[in-house]
């Protein structure tokens, strides 16, 4: 006959600060975190406001307690959770947590790492979306924004689901005021010449910003397309030199290739057309090729291997430009 023993609680996760002992015990489901009130108050407007508020601390800690503060997990009726002072815990018996406790623990651990200015790893768009929700609740968005900027470049896994989540991520990027993430999202959202994804952005201000960006992209592409015909015209002459005939042939090729690169709506797939024309233009017609290369350049920073007009980006222009002074927030504001 065997007897079952209760599962042992995991060891507390301690966030060290040289010369300071942790004075806060945070119990996030099964996992305890030992942290510093100083660090929490410096990074989080939530903890600055509530850690010492009369409504949260009903009594002084016991004399033999090594922690001045003890906060625990409270699950609400809607399935969300939050940290509350142990003295004020009011748990609803019927409340059921949405999601896995382990997932929430890992998310909160990552948020604490950002608050302590430690490196974080973002493995998926979903993780970043959930982290932003936590950071918004605990009012430490600037810390997460800084940590996320560094993490995006060393977390290649996030790119695999990026195109499918950019509608959600653009809201996250604006909330975090993270220009790297915001610009990347905008390039994806306006990349299609026809029927771009930005039209499904819910936030009106962001949708109008994306509309302006897409309009500028279309003007840029149209200008380059017209310029290719100007180059053909400039290099054509009645003497019919070999170079002149070559440029004239490129002009004809652009029409024939447009016929062969139509989408299901019988519209020319311009990025694919430009890519095919570039193959014909290099290396003998540099002026023509230079215009095409400019239109086909990619301004994506987190996915440098992406090539407009090829593979899954064959109906995609990636050259949208968003300067820092165009961003829809005050770039000089350090707290929000």
Strand partners, 34: 14, 25
Domain limit, last residue, from 63, 98, 133: 98
Q: Retrieve residue 209's tokens.
A: 């910003």
Indicate if 147 and 266 belong to the same structural domain: no
Residue 159 in domain: yes
Q: Retrieve residue 9's tokens.
A: 């609680």
**Full residue range of the structural domain in which residue 266 is found:** 197-326
Residue 308 in domain: yes
Residue 266 has pLDDT above 80, yes or no: no
Residue 175 in domain: yes
Residue 241 has pLDDT above 60, yes or no: no
Residue 58 has pLDDT above 50, yes or no: no
DSSP state for residue 312 in the 8-state scheme? G
Residue 57 has pLDDT above 50, yes or no: no
Q: Give the residue from 329, 183, 187 showing the smallest Cα distance to 198.
A: 187
Summarised one tens digit per residue, pLDDT across range 115-158 is: 999 999 998 899 999 999 999 999 999 999 999 999 988 876 77
Summarised one tens digit per residue, pLDDT across range 177-212 is: 999 999 999 999 999 888 899 999 999 999 999 999
Residue 37 has pLDDT above 70, yes or no: yes
Residue 259 has pLDDT above 90, yes or no: no
Number of domains in the chain: 3
Burial code (b: 16+ CB inside 10 Å, e: under 16) for 253-288 equals ebeebbeebeeeeeebbbbbbbbbbbebbeeebeeb
HSE on the CB side for 330, CA within 13 Å?
5
Which residues contact residue 186 at a Cβ distance below 8 angstroms, ignoring those fewer than 6 apart?
A: 170, 198, 209, 210, 213, 320, 322
Of the chain, the end-to-end C-alpha distance in Å amounts to: 60
Return the percentage of the chain with pLDDT > 90, whole number.
58
Indicate if 209 and 320 belong to the same structural domain: yes
Q: What is the pLDDT of residue 107?
A: 96
Indicate if 172 and 253 belong to the same structural domain: no
Give Cα separations from 257 to 144, 261, 264 (angstroms).
Answer: 47, 6, 16
Indicate if 53 and 166 belong to the same structural domain: no
Contact 36, 28 (CB under 8 A): no
Summarised one tens digit per residue, pLDDT across range 279-292 is: 878 877 788 788 88
Q: What is the pLDDT of residue 239?
A: 59
Domain limit, last residue, from 151, 167, 189: 189
CA pair distance 234, 224, nearest whole angstrom: 15
What average pLDDT does the segment 93-101 reach? 85
pLDDT grade for 63, boundaries at 50, 70 and 90: very low
CA pair distance 287, 264, nearest whole angstrom: 32
Indicate if 242 and 205 belong to the same structural domain: yes
Indicate if 302 and 238 belong to the same structural domain: yes
Cα dihedral 326, 330, 333, 336 sign: negative
């Amino acid at each position: 006959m065997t007897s079952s023993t209760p599962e042992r609680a995991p060891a507390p996760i301690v966030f060290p600060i040289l010369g300071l002992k942790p004075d806060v015990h945070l119990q996030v489901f099964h996992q305890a975190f030992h942290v510093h009130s100083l660090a929490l108050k410096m990074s989080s407007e939530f903890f600055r406001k509530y850690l010492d508020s009369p409504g949260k601390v009903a009594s002084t800690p016991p004399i033999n307690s090594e922690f001045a503060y003890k906060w625990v997990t409270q699950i609400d009726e809607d399935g969300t959770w939050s940290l509350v002072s142990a003295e004020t815990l009011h748990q609803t018996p019927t409340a059921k947590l949405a999601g896995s406790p382990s997932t929430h623990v890992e998310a909160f651990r990552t948020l604490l790492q950002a608050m302590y200015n430690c490196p974080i790893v973002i493995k998926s768009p979903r993780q970043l979306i959930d982290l932003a929700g936590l950071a918004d609740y605990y009012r430490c968005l600037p810390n997460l924004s800084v940590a996320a900027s560094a993490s995006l470049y060393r977390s290649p896994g996030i790119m695999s689901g990026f195109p499918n989540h950019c509608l959600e991520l653009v809201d996250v990027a604006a909330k975090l005021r993270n220009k790297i993430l915001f610009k990347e999202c905008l390039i994806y959202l306006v990349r299609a010449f026809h029927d771009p994804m930005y039209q499904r952005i819910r936030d009106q201000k962001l949708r109008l910003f994306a509309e302006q960006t897409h309009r500028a992209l279309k003007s840029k592409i149209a200008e380059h397309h017209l310029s290719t015909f100007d180059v053909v015209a400039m290099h054509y002459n009645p003497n019919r030199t070999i170079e002149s005939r070559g440029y004239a042939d490129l002009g004809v090729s652009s029409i024939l290739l447009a016929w062969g690169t139509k989408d299901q709506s019988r519209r020319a797939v311009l990025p694919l057309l430009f890519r095919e024309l570039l193959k014909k233009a290099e290396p003998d017609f540099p002026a023509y090729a230079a215009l095409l290369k400019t239109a086909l350049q990619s301004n994506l920073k987190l996915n440098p291997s992406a090539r407009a007009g090829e593979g899954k980006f064959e109906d995609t222009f990636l050259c949208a430009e968003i300067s820092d002074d165009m961003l829809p927030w005050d770039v000089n504001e350090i707290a929000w």
